Amino acid sequence: MLGLTGGLISAGSAQAVSGGSAAPNGSWGFVAKVDVGGARACTGALVSSRWVITARSCLSVGGQPVTAGSPALPTTVTVGRSDLSSTGGRVLPVLEVVPHPDRDVALLRLGLQILDVAPVPVSDSAPDAGEAVRFAGYGRTATEWVPNKLHTAEVELDAVVGDSFTWSGRDSNVSACKGDAGGPVFRETAGQPQLVGLNVASWQGGCLGETSTRYGATAARVDDLKQWITRPGPSIDFVDYHTSANGIGGYDLTSPADQVVPFDYSGSGKPDHLLMYRPGSGIVFIAKHVSGGGFEPVFRSFSGIGSFSLGSVEDRLVPFDYDGSGKLDDLLAYRPGSGVVWVLQSTGDGDFWPQIRSSSGIGSFSLGSVEDRLV
C-alpha cells in the first residue's frame, strides 16, 4: 500500500479516469465494476470464470485490515457491461475475498461462473518503462461524478520499481480518479489484452471536484503474481455413491408417476431419508442410507400415510417444518383441484397423524385447480 505524499491519493479513496474517453458498449468486457456495500465503488478485472482481481484496499471498511473470507460488507461485481445503463453482462455477489499479504491486490470469488465473458490473461512478462498500455475504469471523470460508462485512455509507463510502476498520458493529461481503484492496466498485442497491473494510487489531476494539477497514477504489478492469481476452478465432477437398476430401498420405481424427495424422517435436523410414493396407488416408502452404500426401508405402506389415502394421481407430499422447529420432519399432503390439504406430523413411533385437515384449501388459497402447487 503506497503512502500519502504531497497530495497523492491512495486506492483506499477509490479512483477513476480523467482525460480518457467512453468505451464502446461491449468492449473490454473483462473490466469489472465492484460495489462495496453500496457505499464505495471500485474497478477490477475478470481473470477467470469465477475470480475478479481488484485493489485490496477497496475492500477495507473503517480502515480495518482486509481479511480472507466473506467480504466485510455485501459486495457485488458487474462484468461484461461497459454501459452500466444497459442490461448485458452479469451482476453477481462476491462470496469470498482473498487478499494478497504484501501487495494492494485482492481476488474476489463470484457466486457463479461467468462463461460468456472472456477473462483477461495475466501477462507473463514484466512491464517496461516507455511501454504503451491502456488503463480502464468506471470512476469519476473530468465532468461526471458517477459515470454510467467505462472510460479508458492510452497511457505510457514512466518507471518500473519493484512491485509497482507509474504511468502518465501519452498525448494528453490523464489521471485515475475516485472509482478506479483496482482498474486494470493492460497491454494490447494484436488486439489481445494482457493484464500487467492494477491502479492503486493517483494524484487525481483533472478529476471533477479535485484541485490537484498533477496527473498520472501508480499501479501494482501483477505479472509476477500469476501463480498466486491462478485458482483452481469449481469441480463439475460427480461421484457415484450408489447405483441400482432395481429401484432403491425396496421401492421399485417402475411407474412414471413415482416421486422421490429428501425427508427428515427421524427429526435429526437432516433430510437424510428418502420419501418415495406413487400417487393414485396409496404406496409410500421411506428409506435410509445404510453402511455399505445401500438403502433400506424404515416405513412401508400400501394405503397412504397418516390416513391420507394417496388415492388420486394428483396427490402430492412435501416435507414441511410445520412447528418451526427447524426440521423438515412434517408432511404437507394435498390434492390439487379438490381443495384437500392435510398437515401430517410424526406420532413418535414411526407413523403419522393429521394435525390439520382441510377440504377448502389453505390460507385462503383454494387449491381449486389441478395446476396448483404448494412448496
| Rounded distance between C-alpha atoms, residue 228 and residue 9, angstroms | 27
Ramachandran assignment for 162, one of left (phi > 0), alpha (psi -120 to 50 degrees), beta (any other): left
Give SS3 for 225.
helix
Residue 286: in which H helix or E strand, if any?
strand 283-289
Residue 63 has a pLDDT of 87
Average pLDDT estimate for 123-140: 92
Cross-strand bridge partners of residue 77: 34, 92
For 6-17, the pLDDT digits (tens) are 334 444 333 345
CB 185 within 8 A of CB 134: yes
Domains of the chain: 9-223 (2.40.10.120), 259-358 (no CATH)
Q: Which residue in 195, 209, 159 sits closest to 16, CA to CA?
A: 209
Least confident window among 113-122, 155-164, 237-246, 273-282? 237-246
Query: Residues 337, 338, 344, CA angle at the centre, nearest 5°?
Result: 115
CA distance 341 to 337: 11
152: its cell numbers: 479508458
Distance of alpha carbon 293 from alpha carbon 301, whole angstroms: 24
What pLDDT sits at residue 2?
31
Q: Enumerate the β-bridge partners of residue 164.
A: 161, 220
Contacts of 373 (CB under 8 A, 6+ apart): 316, 336
If you average pLDDT over every residue of the chain, what do you get?
88
Taking only the tens place, the pLDDT of each residue in 196-208 is 999 998 877 778 8
Q: Which residue has the higher pLDDT, 191 or 143?
A: 191
pLDDT band of residue 210 (cuts 50, 70, 90) is: confident
Q: How far is CA 267 from CA 38, 84, 272, 283, in A?
A: 41, 48, 10, 22
pLDDT band at 240 (very low <50, low <70, confident <90, very high): confident
295-322 per-position pLDDT tens digit: 999 999 999 999 999 999 999 999 999 9
pLDDT above 60 (res 1): no
Separation of alpha carbons 248 and 222, rounded Å: 53
pTM given for the model: 0.61
Q: CB burial class (10 A; 0-12, 13-18, 19+) of residue 95?
A: middle
pLDDT of amino acid 120: 97
**Can you tell me the mean pLDDT for 21-38?**
84
Q: Which among 28, 54, 51, 19 has a CA at the least distance from the CA of 40? A: 54
- Please give the span between the terminal C-alpha atoms of the chain, in angstroms, as a whole number: 51
| Per-residue confidence (pLDDT) for residue 176, from 0 to 100 | 83
Q: What is the pLDDT of residue 17?
A: 54
More confident residue, 10 or 237: 237
Instruction: Please give the pLDDT value at position 4.
Output: 25
